[in-house]
Chains A and B, each alone.
Chain A
Amino acid sequence: QKEVEQNSGPLSVPEGAIASLNCTYSDRGSQSFFWYRQYSGKSPELIMFIYSNGDKEDGRFTAQLNKASQYVSLLIRDSQPSDSATYLCAVNKSGGSYIPTFGRGTSLIVHP
Protein backbone atom coordinates (compact mmCIF):
# COMPACT_ATOMS: atom_id res chain seq x y z
CA GLN A 1 0.00 0.00 0.00
CA LYS A 2 1.35 3.41 -0.96
CA GLU A 3 1.80 5.79 1.95
CA VAL A 4 -0.32 8.51 0.36
CA GLU A 5 -2.71 7.65 -2.43
CA GLN A 6 -4.59 9.89 -4.80
CA ASN A 7 -6.58 9.13 -7.91
CA SER A 8 -4.50 10.51 -10.78
CA GLY A 9 -7.59 11.62 -12.70
CA PRO A 10 -8.20 13.64 -14.63
CA LEU A 11 -11.25 14.79 -12.72
CA SER A 12 -13.39 16.86 -15.04
CA VAL A 13 -16.08 19.17 -13.65
CA PRO A 14 -18.13 21.95 -15.21
CA GLU A 15 -17.57 25.56 -14.23
CA GLY A 16 -19.51 26.43 -11.10
CA ALA A 17 -19.66 22.86 -9.78
CA ILE A 18 -18.06 21.45 -6.65
CA ALA A 19 -14.82 19.56 -7.24
CA SER A 20 -14.04 16.85 -4.70
CA LEU A 21 -10.47 15.59 -4.42
CA ASN A 22 -9.62 12.69 -2.16
CA CYS A 23 -6.49 11.36 -0.50
CA THR A 24 -5.94 8.30 1.69
CA TYR A 25 -2.92 7.63 3.86
CA SER A 26 -1.48 4.62 5.64
CA ASP A 27 0.30 6.09 8.70
CA ARG A 28 -2.24 6.13 11.53
CA GLY A 29 -0.04 8.43 13.58
CA SER A 30 0.04 11.24 11.02
CA GLN A 31 -0.92 14.59 12.49
CA SER A 32 -0.52 17.18 9.74
CA PHE A 33 -2.14 17.20 6.32
CA PHE A 34 -1.57 19.58 3.43
CA TRP A 35 -3.03 20.38 0.04
CA TYR A 36 -0.91 21.96 -2.69
CA ARG A 37 -1.92 23.19 -6.13
CA GLN A 38 0.50 22.85 -9.03
CA TYR A 39 -0.13 24.44 -12.38
CA SER A 40 1.52 22.81 -15.37
CA GLY A 41 5.20 23.77 -15.53
CA LYS A 42 5.07 25.60 -12.19
CA SER A 43 6.00 24.80 -8.62
CA PRO A 44 3.56 23.54 -5.97
CA GLU A 45 1.76 26.19 -3.95
CA LEU A 46 0.31 25.54 -0.49
CA ILE A 47 -3.48 25.93 -0.43
CA MET A 48 -4.46 24.61 2.98
CA PHE A 49 -3.34 22.58 5.93
CA ILE A 50 -5.45 20.78 8.50
CA TYR A 51 -4.55 19.13 11.78
CA SER A 52 -7.85 18.26 13.45
CA ASN A 53 -10.73 16.02 12.48
CA GLY A 54 -13.55 17.83 10.72
CA ASP A 55 -13.73 20.62 8.20
CA LYS A 56 -11.60 23.67 7.66
CA GLU A 57 -12.79 26.34 5.27
CA ASP A 58 -10.83 29.04 3.45
CA GLY A 59 -12.77 30.91 0.81
CA ARG A 60 -13.92 28.47 -1.86
CA PHE A 61 -11.75 25.69 -0.43
CA THR A 62 -12.72 23.24 2.31
CA ALA A 63 -10.40 20.58 3.68
CA GLN A 64 -12.01 17.62 5.40
CA LEU A 65 -10.10 15.25 7.66
CA ASN A 66 -11.22 11.89 9.02
CA LYS A 67 -8.39 10.28 10.96
CA ALA A 68 -10.39 7.17 11.85
CA SER A 69 -10.89 6.38 8.17
CA GLN A 70 -7.48 7.80 7.22
CA TYR A 71 -8.59 10.12 4.49
CA VAL A 72 -8.40 13.80 3.77
CA SER A 73 -10.41 15.61 1.11
CA LEU A 74 -10.35 18.96 -0.61
CA LEU A 75 -13.58 20.50 -1.85
CA ILE A 76 -13.51 23.39 -4.28
CA ARG A 77 -16.82 25.23 -4.51
CA ASP A 78 -17.86 27.26 -7.54
CA SER A 79 -15.01 25.76 -9.57
CA GLN A 80 -13.41 28.06 -12.14
CA PRO A 81 -11.31 27.23 -15.21
CA SER A 82 -8.42 28.84 -13.35
CA ASP A 83 -8.67 26.01 -10.79
CA SER A 84 -7.52 23.57 -13.47
CA ALA A 85 -4.28 22.17 -12.07
CA THR A 86 -2.82 19.15 -10.31
CA TYR A 87 -3.61 18.95 -6.61
CA LEU A 88 -1.07 17.29 -4.34
CA CYS A 89 -1.89 15.82 -0.96
CA ALA A 90 0.92 15.67 1.61
CA VAL A 91 0.85 13.86 4.93
CA ASN A 92 3.44 14.14 7.69
CA LYS A 93 4.97 10.93 8.92
CA SER A 94 4.57 10.22 12.59
CA GLY A 95 7.63 9.97 14.80
CA GLY A 96 11.13 11.05 13.88
CA SER A 97 11.52 13.68 11.20
CA TYR A 98 7.82 14.42 10.46
CA ILE A 99 8.80 14.92 6.84
CA PRO A 100 5.67 14.89 4.67
CA THR A 101 5.06 12.26 2.06
CA PHE A 102 3.45 13.55 -1.12
CA GLY A 103 0.83 11.80 -3.15
CA ARG A 104 1.26 11.75 -6.90
CA GLY A 105 -1.51 14.25 -7.39
CA THR A 106 -4.93 14.48 -8.99
CA SER A 107 -5.35 16.41 -12.21
CA LEU A 108 -8.44 18.64 -12.16
CA ILE A 109 -9.97 20.08 -15.31
CA VAL A 110 -12.72 22.69 -14.98
CA HIS A 111 -14.43 23.19 -18.32
CA PRO A 112 -16.52 26.26 -19.19
Chain B
Amino acid sequence: NAGVTQTPKFQVLKTGQSMTLQCAQDMNHNSMYWYRQDPGMGLRLIYYSASEGTTDKGEVPNGYNVSRLNKREFSLRLESAAPSQTSVYFCASSERQGVYGYTFGSGTRLTVV
Protein backbone atom coordinates (compact mmCIF):
# COMPACT_ATOMS: atom_id res chain seq x y z
CA ASN B 1 0.00 0.00 0.00
CA ALA B 2 1.87 3.04 -1.29
CA GLY B 3 -0.42 5.73 0.22
CA VAL B 4 0.29 9.09 -1.40
CA THR B 5 2.99 9.20 -4.06
CA GLN B 6 4.55 12.47 -5.21
CA THR B 7 6.92 13.05 -8.07
CA PRO B 8 9.52 14.39 -8.45
CA LYS B 9 11.25 14.45 -5.06
CA PHE B 10 13.65 17.23 -6.01
CA GLN B 11 13.59 19.84 -8.77
CA VAL B 12 15.60 22.90 -9.70
CA LEU B 13 13.96 25.36 -12.08
CA LYS B 14 15.09 28.57 -13.66
CA THR B 15 12.90 31.62 -13.24
CA GLY B 16 10.13 31.56 -15.83
CA GLN B 17 10.20 27.82 -16.44
CA SER B 18 7.11 25.73 -15.94
CA MET B 19 6.60 22.35 -14.35
CA THR B 20 3.93 20.03 -13.02
CA LEU B 21 4.09 18.25 -9.69
CA GLN B 22 2.30 14.93 -9.75
CA CYS B 23 0.39 13.31 -6.90
CA ALA B 24 -1.47 10.01 -6.75
CA GLN B 25 -3.16 8.18 -3.90
CA ASP B 26 -4.30 4.58 -3.76
CA MET B 27 -6.51 4.77 -0.65
CA ASN B 28 -9.74 5.64 -2.49
CA HIS B 29 -9.81 8.99 -0.72
CA ASN B 30 -12.25 11.62 -1.90
CA SER B 31 -10.34 14.77 -0.99
CA MET B 32 -6.88 15.87 -2.03
CA TYR B 33 -4.74 18.90 -1.18
CA TRP B 34 -1.58 20.75 -2.10
CA TYR B 35 0.42 22.53 0.60
CA ARG B 36 3.68 24.40 0.66
CA GLN B 37 5.91 24.53 3.71
CA ASP B 38 8.39 27.31 4.28
CA PRO B 39 10.63 27.88 7.31
CA GLY B 40 8.76 29.86 9.96
CA MET B 41 5.54 29.86 7.93
CA GLY B 42 4.16 26.44 8.60
CA LEU B 43 1.97 24.57 6.15
CA ARG B 44 -0.05 26.76 3.82
CA LEU B 45 -2.82 25.47 1.60
CA ILE B 46 -2.43 26.21 -2.11
CA TYR B 47 -5.40 24.39 -3.65
CA TYR B 48 -7.68 21.55 -2.70
CA SER B 49 -10.16 19.21 -4.29
CA ALA B 50 -13.01 18.15 -2.05
CA SER B 51 -14.10 15.48 -4.49
CA GLU B 52 -13.43 14.35 -8.03
CA GLY B 53 -14.40 17.09 -10.44
CA THR B 54 -14.04 20.01 -8.03
CA THR B 55 -11.13 22.27 -7.14
CA ASP B 56 -10.91 25.35 -4.93
CA LYS B 57 -8.35 27.93 -3.98
CA GLY B 58 -6.62 27.81 -0.66
CA GLU B 59 -4.65 30.44 1.21
CA VAL B 60 -1.85 31.00 -1.35
CA PRO B 61 -3.09 30.09 -4.87
CA ASN B 62 -1.38 32.81 -6.91
CA GLY B 63 1.06 31.44 -9.47
CA TYR B 64 -0.36 27.92 -9.37
CA ASN B 65 -2.98 25.86 -11.16
CA VAL B 66 -4.32 22.40 -10.37
CA SER B 67 -6.05 19.55 -12.12
CA ARG B 68 -7.99 16.74 -10.48
CA LEU B 69 -7.41 14.25 -13.25
CA ASN B 70 -9.47 11.47 -11.65
CA LYS B 71 -10.18 10.27 -8.13
CA ARG B 72 -6.58 9.12 -7.67
CA GLU B 73 -4.58 11.96 -9.18
CA PHE B 74 -4.21 15.66 -8.36
CA SER B 75 -1.51 17.68 -10.09
CA LEU B 76 -0.07 21.11 -9.33
CA ARG B 77 1.32 23.28 -12.12
CA LEU B 78 3.65 26.24 -11.92
CA GLU B 79 3.24 28.13 -15.18
CA SER B 80 6.11 30.60 -14.76
CA ALA B 81 8.24 29.78 -11.75
CA ALA B 82 9.49 32.55 -9.48
CA PRO B 83 12.13 32.44 -6.72
CA SER B 84 9.32 33.05 -4.19
CA GLN B 85 7.99 29.60 -5.11
CA THR B 86 11.09 27.94 -3.71
CA SER B 87 9.60 25.67 -1.08
CA VAL B 88 8.77 22.13 -0.06
CA TYR B 89 5.48 21.02 -1.56
CA PHE B 90 3.31 18.36 0.01
CA CYS B 91 0.33 16.60 -1.46
CA ALA B 92 -2.16 15.11 0.98
CA SER B 93 -5.40 13.18 0.85
CA SER B 94 -8.25 12.43 3.22
CA GLU B 95 -11.18 10.08 3.13
CA ARG B 96 -13.63 12.91 3.60
CA GLN B 97 -12.95 16.62 3.92
CA GLY B 98 -13.08 18.06 7.37
CA VAL B 99 -13.57 14.88 9.32
CA TYR B 100 -10.48 12.73 9.16
CA GLY B 101 -6.86 13.63 9.18
CA TYR B 102 -4.56 13.72 6.22
CA THR B 103 -2.13 11.27 4.72
CA PHE B 104 0.79 13.20 3.28
CA GLY B 105 3.08 12.37 0.42
CA SER B 106 6.83 12.47 0.90
CA GLY B 107 7.16 15.96 -0.56
CA THR B 108 8.87 17.75 -3.44
CA ARG B 109 11.74 20.07 -2.66
CA LEU B 110 11.64 22.79 -5.33
CA THR B 111 14.30 25.42 -5.87
CA VAL B 112 13.76 28.26 -8.33
CA VAL B 113 16.92 30.12 -9.30
Across the two chains, which residue of chain B brings its CB closest to A31? B98
| A67 adjacent to chain B (CB < 8 Å) | no
Known: A99-B58, A102-B42, A104-B42. A43 touches B105 (CB 8 A): yes
Interface size on B, residues (CB 8 A): 22
Determine whether the beta carbon of A43 is less than 8 Å from that of B97.
no
| A44 adjacent to chain B (CB < 8 Å) | yes
Known: A44-B102, A44-B104. A99 touches B42 (CB 8 A): no
Give the residues in chain B near A103, CB-CB below 8 Å.
42
Binding site for B on A (CB under 8 A): 32, 34, 36, 42-46, 49, 88, 90, 92, 97-100, 102-105
Give the residues in chain B near A43, CB-CB below 8 Å.
90, 104-107
B87-113: contact bitstring with A at CB < 8 Å (1 yes, 0 no)? 000100000011111111111000000
Give the residues in chain A near B34, CB-CB below 8 Å.
none
Give CA–CA (A48, B2) in the complex, Å: 21
| B13 adjacent to chain A (CB < 8 Å) | no
Known: A43-B90, A103-B42. A32 touches B105 (CB 8 A): no
Give CA–CA (A36, B92) in the complex, Å: 13
Give CA–CA (A105, B104) in the complex, Å: 16
Determine whether the beta carbon of A97 is less than 8 Å from that of B56.
yes
Across the two chains, which residue of chain B brings its CB closest to A94? B98
Determine whether the beta carbon of A98 is less than 8 Å from that of B97.
yes
Q: B11-63: which residues lie under 8 A (CB-CB) from chain A?
A: 33, 40-43, 45, 48, 50, 56, 58
Q: Which of A46, A49, A102 touches B43 (beta carbons < 8 Å)?
A: A102
* Other contacts beyond A97-B97, A104-B41: 11, CB < 8 A: A42-B107, A43-B104, A43-B107, A44-B102, A46-B101, A49-B100, A88-B42, A102-B42, A102-B43, A104-B40, A105-B42
Across the two chains, which residue of chain B brings its CB closest to A33? B101
